[in-house]
Chain A
Amino acid sequence: MVYDVSKLTDFHYSALKEISNIGIGNAATSLATMLGSEVKVMTPDLKVARIEEVAEFSGGADKLVSGVLMKLSGCVKGYMVMLLPPESAKLICNTITKEQDSDIKNPMNESLISEVGHILGSTYMTAFSDFLKIDVFASAPFHTYDMIGAIMDNILIQMSQEVEHAIILDTLFTLKGNDMHGKLLTLFDPISLELILEQVNALFR
């Protein structure tokens, strides 16, 4: 039986947000270490959306971003996606390479952005997995600079064959004042949610 996402209680919402908060907190610390600069994170948002609506929720289907995607495997099936507006991707590259005007389409910088996404995603998932005591692994990162809709639709197509809804943990982080901002999205399906909620219940009750 697939968990009915409409039956998520306030308690579950808060618990999931809190776990996500720990994850993004750890991820921000590793990014800050890497960049030598303070990273701020917003309280995560949790959304349940029909698969067809996810691209719009992620910031607009035709908006251009640097996207890094990782597939989750283990007890939880899903994806992590880091979305960076081009100017933020450039700022990250400038900070790391000490260049003035990094070209984000240069292969070196693409792999740099990819690694940033990987570090953020895997630190986040490690925290998530340690806290809930379930095994989750993030795959190697895949990077592309394109429209959000195009980056997301492959994932959504894969998910849509199994489930109708996606659970999205949406976290925003900012760097250097507010000059750089990015999004880290965690998508998982209602089947994985069931397991996560069992662990939440076991830990909190």
Chain B
Amino acid sequence: MIVIGMADYAVTRSPEKLTTLGLGSCVGIALYDPVTKIGGLIHIMLPTIENARFTDNCAKFADSGIPYLIEQMIGIGAVRRRLVAKIAGGAKMFSFNSDASMNIGERNIQATKVVLSEMKVPIISEDVGKNYGRTVVLDTDTGVYYVKSAIKGENVI
């Protein structure tokens, strides 16, 4: 099991598993090529690298991280047109950001969807939003994405 931290990513192939822990407003994007059984997982924090003050880590942002993850997967043998995506996270953990524009979880989900659509990677399932944290595991043998939460238990998507 490869553990990915916040603003981090990894790519691997079957039978290895990829996980990232305690997603709140962050989004965990799992990409998978079912033929080569190559998987990639990224834990993004923010929607966009544009106007960001610190840009040294592209894995922090949806718009710079997802294309980078795709490149890394192609680098080890995945085929772009076969890639599918499963996404989880983007919760609104606290109500103190009542202003809608401040709902970073929702903005992260939207940015993720826009980027994946631009990259022509279909989202085949998702478990996003709401108000609870999620731990995710991508099984590269099956492409199954396990989403665990304290409240809802385990959801297999």
Contact = CB atoms under 8 A, between A and B. Distances in A.
Partners in one complex: yes
Interface string B10-30: 000000000001111110000
A119 interface: no
B45 A147 contact: no
Contacts, number: 100
B58 interface: no
Q: For B45, B52, B91, B150, which residue has the most chain A Cβ atoms within 10 angstroms?
A: B150
Interface residues of A, number: 31
Contact of B45 (A53, A56, A151, A153): A153
Q: Which of A62, A64, A150, A157 has the most C-beta atoms of chain B within 10 angstroms of its own C-beta?
A: A150
B interface, size bucket: 20 to 34
Interface string A138-169: 01001011111111111011101110100000
A61 B26 contact: no
A160 B60 contact: yes
A140 to B, nearest CB: 8
Contacts of B54: 160, 164
Given A62-B135, A69-B94, A71-B96, A157 B26 contact: yes
Contacts of B151: 146
A162 B91 CA distance: 22
Contacts of A69: 94, 96
B22 A147 contact: yes
A42 to B, nearest CB: 24
Nearest to B148: A62
B56 to A, nearest CB: 9
B93 A162 contact: no
Closest 9 interchain pairs by CB?
A149-B22, A150-B133, A150-B24, A61-B22, A147-B22, A61-B21, A62-B21, A153-B24, A147-B133
Interface of B: 5-8, 21-26, 45-46, 52-54, 57, 60, 91, 93-97, 104-105, 131-135, 150-151
